[in-house]
Amino acid sequence: MEETLDLDVGYQQQGQSPSMQGPAEESLNQCIAGVIRALALEDRGGFEISDSNQKEIRVLCEVLGQKFDDLAERTAALVEEVSVLRRAMEEQREAIQDLETGKERVQLSLESMGNNLRRNNLRFLTVPVL
């Protein structure tokens, strides 16, 4: 007589909480937990996975593959966003540096103008009156 293991035993029954939220993810987590236990028991020679559970495992693998593909796409998009943000930050740093340089130039220019005005005023004041 062949023994089979039901995959519908999940994290909640083990006293653990699912790593993902929502009923679909919880169901997926339960299925994953069942597959892991079933494979571990089968490796020890204690159980053989039934045909229906093998189908569930195939579906699970497809779903996991899709989730990993989605995750890879989202990760690539996030990496691109980070690159764009880094470029924007670098451009802002350069713009700030340009503003600081411009500010220094304006300050030097104002100082020079002030010096010129003082010199001109002194010259004007020292002109002999006829």
Q: List pLDDT tens digits, range 21-47.
A: 556 667 667 777 777 777 777 666 656
Q: List pLDDT tens digits, range 57-90.
A: 788 778 888 888 888 999 999 999 999 999 999 9
- C-alpha separations of 21 from 14, 56, 59, 69 in Å: 17, 21, 20, 19
Question: Cα–Cα distance between 101 and 107 in angstroms, integer?
Answer: 10
User: Above 80 in pLDDT, residue 13?
Assistant: no
pLDDT-based confidence at 96, cuts 50/70/90?
very high
Write down the pLDDT at residue 80: 95
Q: Global pTM?
A: 0.45
Average pLDDT over residues 13-22: 45
